[in-house]
Amino acid sequence: MHLNFVTVLRYLLGLVFVFSGFVKIIDLGWFSGVVSSYGVLPDFLVLPFSFLVSFLEFVFGLMLFFGIGVVYALFGLIFMVFGFTILSFSRFVLGEVGDCGCFGRFVGGRNDIFHLFLNLLLISGLIFVKLKTNGGK
């Protein structure tokens, strides 16, 4: 097996999203509370959305790590992280600094400039891997 920077980055990003999705799934009640605090979904959609986001993060992370459907996983994760970044940025600008829900309550995270920067790093890493994987196709 040939390990290069892109492969190592794909593994690391895969692990980040497996961890992120897993800690949300095992504490879905808490994560649903975070999702609810954003105030963008009606109450009846909060729990299904929370589960879906957590599940997709976990599955897309596994796909990245094991190299299965990498392009689909990358598109899904780029879309998700971009959406998370917009929501976090809007709350940051409005001064609503609360838990972003990024990595579950085990790691904790607030809507602050550090987590916005982290989201931008994640998006950049995902886009970089996408461009270097299969010629950017």
Average pLDDT, the chain: 86
- Better pLDDT: 96 or 60: 60
What pTM, to 2 d.p., does this model score?
0.87
- 3-class SS of residue 11: helix
Q: pLDDT by residue (tens digit) across 17-32?
A: 999 999 999 999 988 9
- What is the domain range of residue 96? 5-136
The C-alpha atoms of residue 66 and residue 79 are separated, in whole angstroms, by 20
Are the CB atoms for 54 and 25 separated by under 8 Å? yes
Taking only the tens place, the pLDDT of each residue in 114-126 is: 777 888 899 999 9
Between residues 104 and 127, the one the model is more confident about? 127
When divided into structural domains, the chain yields a total of 1
pLDDT at position 133 is 85
